[in-house]
Amino acid sequence: MTSAGATPPEPAALSAATLLTPARRVAAVLNRAVAAGLVGEEQPVAGFLDTDGIRASVADLAAAFAHAPDVLHTFAVKAASLVPVLRLLAELGMGCEVASPGELRLALDAGVPPSRIVLDSPAKTRGEISEALALGVAVNADNLDELRRIDALRAGGSASVVGLRVNPQVGGGTIGAMSTATATSKFGVALRDPGARDRVVKAFAERPWLTRLHAHVGSQGCPLALMAEGVAETYRLAEEINRTLGTRQITSLDIGGGLPVNFDDDATRPAFADYTRALGTAVPDLFDGRYALVTEFGRSLLAKNGFIGARVEYVKEAGGRRIAVTHAGAQTATRTVLMPGAWPLRVGAFGADGSPRTGARLRQDIAGPCCFAGDVVAHGRELPELEEGDLVVLYDTGAYYFSTPWGYNSLPRPAVHGFTADPSGGVRLTTVRAAQTLDEIAAESGLAHAGALVSLGARTGATAPAPSTPRC
């Protein structure tokens, strides 16, 4: 990692905090959260983030890239758009990758220096680009038309590093929606389309200030070899452009993120070190310092460092299947509910006090609170028999789940709590985000303009017309 920013903790320094097994660690946290009233009847769903685990993940990332002389690790804010999380990551030396004005605001509010922020988005407005250039935030243009916008907007100069995103078109993984280097991906300049490569070289030749190439192959479902091939293709293009221009105009490569996460068990695989080995095989000179590197990891840093705890409100039978109706459904586990085959989650069964449930297992569906039939987080899972008041845990949900909830049914956003646990099971908790109140839901839903539509149709001194009589 670059010298700028705080130095992340060494992996060895974190070993004492990981003596608890993952299952015991979750049970200790859940038990403490119940005792503190953070989850239960009054607060039926909450998210929990393991700060020790986050620190360890950042340390693993830094160690895996330690042989790279110049690398900026940025966190993909969309994976956990929570200011305290971004502040912690900034303290550990990370920057932020943002893809919207909201994410940029969160990164700045978290104290991340603009020089350590990268703006990626396929639909940047002129206003968004202007703000980034004024702040000194790095900008990765998604296409050649965007470069033409930047031509005008940076006419007075800017401290921002500007790059161009390319699509190496190396293919997709097992989840099409997560694959961004397919032949028809909406992202970047498609390099294998006729004439595209020449147009990219020309774009750099016309803009001496264009100094970075960016590529991102995808995330979940993409094998390491495919990701590495996308980086290799980008590296080869950078070498071609610099050779053609007769100067080392491209000085940095943004290689994206996308390391997949294992949702099957507690193991962290693949590891960041596995990825750097794959990169070294595909691009032997990538780490020689010729190019500064930028990464944009998100899910792989947070997913296994968080879980959702939710109360079982009712248990019922339907068609011979037992169903536990809980408060964790599509509003917090959107991807899993809508794409269960691609995003399966492990489920844990706990008693009302947070202690692990024991006893004979039986097949049960774990359903959520949303008013549509498909709101089921897990189908036919063999778990100890659940009862009203019990708690279920959805593991590996530290990224993209409770941090970016769906407002279906106007269900309130759940509280999020950070925790640390010592080897003996002692737990400390802190609030990361308070649960959304009903007043906040009403305000967000236009309460201040409650009469707007009524007044729009009102005419002074006129009475509303009588409803017409329907005809058969």
| Catalytic positions | 371
Residue 467, judged by CB atoms within 10 A of its CB (0-12, 13-18, 19+), counts as exposed
Q: What are phi and psi of 70, to 5 degrees?
A: -145, 105
For every residue of 211-277, DSSP letters joined together read: EEEE---BSTT--HHHHHHHHHHHHHHHHHHHHHHTS----EEE---------SSS---S-HHHHHH
Q: Are 70 and 46 in contact (CB under 8 A)?
A: no
Tell me how far apart the alpha carbons of residues 327 and 20 are, in angstroms, rounded to a whole number: 28
Tokens coding 151: 């031509």
Q: Which letter, b or e, does each residue of 156-184 get, where b requires 16 or more Cβ atoms within 10 Å of its Cβ?
A: eebebbbbbbbbbbbebbebeebbbbbee
Quick one: which of 82, 17, 21 has its CA closest to 51?
17
Q: 361-367 and 321-326 as β-strands: parallel, antiparallel, unpaired?
A: parallel
For 350, the 3-state DSSP assignment is strand
Instruction: HSE, CB side, 13 Å, CA atoms: give it for residue 249.
Output: 25
Determine the distance from the C-alpha atom of residue 462 to the mean position of all C-alpha atoms in its chain, rounded to a whole number. Answer: 53
Tell me how far apart the alpha carbons of residues 213 and 232 are, in angstroms, rounded to a whole number: 12
Tell me how far apart the alpha carbons of residues 169 and 178 are, in angstroms, rounded to a whole number: 14
Which whole-number Å values give the CA distances from 105 to 76, 102, 128, in the listed order?
Answer: 14, 5, 11
Q: What are phi and psi of 67, to 5 degrees?
A: -80, 0
Quick one: which of 329, 316, 279 has its CA closest to 65?
279
Tell me how far apart the alpha carbons of residues 47 and 199 are, in angstroms, rounded to a whole number: 47
Q: Cβ neighbours of residue 341 under 8 Å, at least 6 residues apart? A: none
